């Protein structure tokens, strides 16, 4: 099987600060990949480079065999197949929940209004917020806002969804709501890349876990290989600190 996402020798820096160092990674269709690592290790930068929110200094990124680095027109087309869920919810405060979900697909994809509404209501049912369709973001909890952000990403009919620490600003109970929603997507066959510190969650969901340290992939494998069997001292130290602070 050919990779859906293929990163080859990616280098990314901010001035003199190197963030990604000759990083290579392949992600296959339907795969759920979790990315872990300490703050500043390059996790969020990695997924922002995948969808073109950040440029790179060198290397090559291809999605479905289409270059994201050499062909701007191809890159614009492929970005429509990539959904992104950020740490902050980025909902439009002047739109109600339904409009937050459907407006982007109407504007970006030219979707029919009635079809978009039908899709919006079905997605709200999927994330168990159908009773909030006409509420405004200010009336929602943080967990509900993030679930709406997930529905908005799904409305674009993506093949890939990238999650950038989607529960980092939430308390444990609200984080569980969001994680449960992400878990529901696993059965849909979406390719997902999840940057997170929620080790217990990804140990059950992810097909593969990648540990990044100082902009390099230092360990990767199944959840058991990475979280239980690893001999990597740097990873063992990171996991111990997570356990102590959880």
pLDDT score at 78: 85
Give the residues across from 18 on adjacent strands: 13
Residues in the chain: 246
pLDDT tens readout for residues 83-95: 999 988 889 999 9
Integer Cα distance of 164 and 78 in angstroms: 19
Do 20 and 61 form a contact (C-beta atoms < 8 A)?
no
Whole-number mean pLDDT of the chain?
92
Give 111-159 pLDDT, tens digit per residue. 899 999 999 999 999 999 999 999 999 999 999 999 999 999 999 999 9
Nearest Cα to 119, choosing from 107, 102, 136, 104?
A: 102
Average pLDDT over residues 55-72: 89
Domains in the chain: ranges and CATH: 1-81+169-246 (3.40.50.300), 87-157 (no CATH)
* Mean pLDDT of all residues in 157-178: 90
Helix (H) or strand (E) holding 16, with range, is none
Max CA distance (Å), the chain: 55
Q: What is the mean pLDDT of residues 48-74?
A: 89
Considering only residues 35 and 88, tell me which one the structure prediction assigns the higher pLDDT.
35
Q: Please, are residues 73 and 109 in contact by the beta-carbon 8 Å criterion?
A: no
pLDDT of residue 184: 87
Residues 6+ apart with CB under 8 A from 14: none
The residue whose two tokens read 């360990």 is: 219
DSSP element (H, E) containing 141? none
Confidence of residue 73 (pLDDT cuts 50, 70, 90): confident
State the average pLDDT over residues 194-204: 92
Paired residues of 163 in beta bridges: 85, 194
pLDDT average, residue stretch 223-231: 96
Instruction: Calculate ∠ Cα 97-84-238, nearest 5°.
Output: 120
Which helix H or strand E contains 84, and what residues bound it? strand 82-85
For 119-129, the pLDDT digits (tens) are 999 999 999 99
- Spatial distance between the Cα atoms of 215 and 235, rounded to a whole number of angstroms: 14
Confidence category of residue 188, pLDDT binned at 50, 70, 90: confident
Radius of gyration of the chain (CA): 18
Task: Look at residue 243 in the predicted model and tell me its pLDDT.
Answer: 82
pLDDT at 246: 67
Residue 48 has pLDDT above 80, yes or no: yes
As a whole number, mean pLDDT of residues 27-35 equals: 96
pLDDT at 163: 96
Q: What's CA 217's distance to the chain center, in Å?
A: 18
Cβ pair 213, 37 in contact under 8 A: yes
Q: What are phi and psi of 127, to 5 degrees?
A: -95, 10
Work out the pLDDT band at 211, boundaries 50, 70, 90: very high
Are residues 206 and 174 in contact, defined by beta-carbon separation less than 8 angstroms?
Answer: no
Predicted TM-score of the model (pTM): 0.93
Paired tokens of 192? 């997902």
């Amino acid at each position: 099987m050919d990779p859906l996402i293929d990163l080859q020798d990616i280098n990314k820096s901010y001035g003199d600060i190197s963030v990604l160092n000759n990083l290579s990674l392949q992600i296959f269709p339907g795969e759920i990949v979790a990315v872990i690592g300490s703050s500043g290790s390059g996790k969020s930068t990695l997924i922002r480079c995948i969808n073109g929110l950040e440029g790179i200094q060198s290397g090559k990124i291809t999605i479905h065999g289409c270059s994201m680095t050499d062909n701007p027109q191809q890159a614009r087309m492929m970005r429509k197949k990539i959904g992104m869920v950020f740490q902050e919810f980025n909902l439009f405060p002047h739109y109600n929940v339904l409009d937050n979900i459907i407006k982007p697909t109407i504007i970006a994809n030219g979707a029919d209004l009635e079809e978009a509404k039908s899709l919006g209501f079905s997605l709200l049912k999927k994330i168990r917020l159908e009773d909030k369709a006409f509420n405004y973001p200010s009336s929602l909890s943080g967990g509900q806002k993030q679930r709406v952000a997930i529905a908005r990403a799904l409305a674009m009919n993506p093949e890939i969804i990238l999650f950038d620490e989607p529960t980092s600003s939430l308390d444990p109970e609200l984080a569980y709501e969001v994680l449960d929603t992400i878990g529901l997507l696993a059965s849909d066959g979406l390719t997902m890349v999840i940057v997170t510190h929620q080790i217990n969650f990804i140990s059950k969901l992810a097909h593969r876990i990648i540990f990044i340290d100082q902009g390099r992939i230092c360990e990767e494998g199944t959840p058991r290989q990475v979280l239980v069997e690893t001999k990597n001292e740097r990873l063992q130290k990171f996991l111990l600190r997570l356990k102590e602070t959880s």
